[in-house]
Amino acid sequence: MTQSPLDRVRRYQDELTAIRRDIHAHPELGLEEHRTADIVARKLEEWGVEVHRGVGQTGVVGVLRNGNGAASVGLRADMDALPILEATGLPHASRYPGLMHACGHDGHTTILLGAARYLAETRAFNGTVNFIFQPAEEGRGGAEAMLKDGLFERFPCDAVFGLHNHPGLAVGQFVTSKGVRYAGGAVFDITITGKGAHGARPEEGIDPVIVACHLATALQSIISRTIAAQDTAVLSVTRVQAGEAYNVIPQTAVMAGTVRTMRAEVMATIEQTMKRLAVSIAAGFGAEAVVDFRVLFAPVVNNEQEMVAYADAASAVVGEANVRRDAAPSMASEDFGFMMQRVPGAHVLLGNGDGAGVHNHQYDFNDEAIPYGVALLAAITERKLPKGI
């Protein structure tokens, strides 16, 4: 009797769990994932997968070929951690104070490793699989670094697939949808330069704090008065810093924040409007403003054909009742979108069960989700690269 993918993966789930917990205990920030990348490379080599190190600085790409098929797919996982002090108290908790795998990238990396092992053993596909272990997903430009290093020129893919765990969704369930899945994201810093003065003689200075207050309010009008109601967007000023004394009007004030949009065109409009408002409002008070606006994430947009194939693969693993195909898009961001701008693909959420949400100091990836992620990546590979064709 043929063993199901889930049953086969569960035979070595303990080994995968040990890898995941080891990575969790040794978190590394984006573009610093040297230890993690070495683990990935050594495991791939152990399972007979061709390994390419240093793609996009600390990225790793494994290549597995079978048969004579010309088609290829890319399977992608992120590897980096976050600057968060872990408070789970678990035996495998971070050994590095102030660093933590609080988003489950340790689990994603392990799932992709598991898929590489499964496909290397079973070889029930015809073509080429590229296992893309991406660094620096958390706003440090890992996807773009790999692309600039010739990711898809060196490792051509007809389609790419990714996943992310989702706390609150039961283990063994998947959600996805066609079209936009995640918002594009940007951060901004606005430096306002006025003229410092004594707090008792404000008429002798130009107060950058007043400028910042007016600008923070004005920036909220961008969403309500510049962006069409049907174009979802969020702009948040999350930091205002100025001065150190009670009786001193400072020379400068700095504002910072984030912007999320579902379309690149909307992001461009917000950037242009922000710069116009900042400069003009500051000038009205006799000050100067400089805006540094940095787009860190492209919107993640599922290709309809690849999304259907991915959801069908998930259904084959867990049954259609455990696959939702009409999930609402999220205002969170995921830099897999840059890869999907170059190659059609799809992204799904993988159930992580109950527990703390991502980016939380109490979060931990649920190891029971590993077999489901592995089985899904194996299933979509075999579906896109059918043997015998």
Same domain, 164 and 24: yes
Take residue 75 and report the two structure tokens written for it.
Answer: 């399977």
Q: How far apart are CA 199 and CA 272, in angstroms?
A: 34
Q: How far apart are CA 243 and CA 223, in angstroms?
A: 29
Q: How many domains does the chain have?
A: 2
Cα distances (angstroms) measured from residue 231 to each of 219, 258, 267, 299: 17, 17, 10, 13
- CATH number for the domain that contains residue 254: 3.30.70.360
Cα angle for residues 234, 238, 241 (degrees, 5° grid): 145
Residue-level pLDDT at 5:
87
Same domain, 138 and 227: no
Cα distances (angstroms) measured from residue 232 to each of 120, 227, 252, 272, 296: 43, 8, 33, 17, 18
Same domain, 245 and 315: no
Query: How many CB atoms within 10 Å of residue 54?
Result: 12
Smallest Cα–Cα separation from 209: which of 249, 245, 152, 238?
249
Same domain, 192 and 321: no
Q: Output phi, psi for 179, to 5 deg.
A: 75, -155
Same domain, 197 and 209: yes
Q: Whole-structure pTM over 0.95, yes or no?
A: no
Residue-range definition of the domain harbouring residue 218: 184-297
Residue-level pLDDT at 65:
98
- Burial pattern 344-381, b for ≥16 Cβ within 10 A else e, equals bbbbbbbbbbeeeebebeebbbbbebbbbbbbbbbbbb
- Domain membership of residue 246 (yes or no) is yes
Q: In what order do the strands lie in the sheet with 288-297?
A: 233-242, 252-261, 184-193, 288-297
- Domain membership of residue 389 (yes or no) is no
Smallest Cα–Cα separation from 179: which of 264, 298, 301, 262?
301
Q: Pick from 272, 297, 322: which residue ends a domain?
A: 297
- CATH number for the domain that contains residue 101: 3.40.630.10
Residue 282 DSSP one-character state: H
Residue-level pLDDT at 1:
52
> Please, what are the averages of pLDDT over each run of 10 residues along the chain (389 residues)?
83 97 98 98 98 98 97 98 98 98 98 98 98 96 97 98 98 97 96 97 97 98 96 96 97 98 96 98 98 96 98 98 96 95 98 97 98 98 89
Q: Pick from 244, 263, 297: which residue ends a domain?
A: 297
Is residue 120 a contact partner of residue 51, using CB atoms and an 8 Å limit?
A: no
Residue-level pLDDT at 2:
65
Helix (H) or strand (E) holding 336: helix 336-342
Same domain, 17 and 156: yes
Same domain, 175 and 193: no
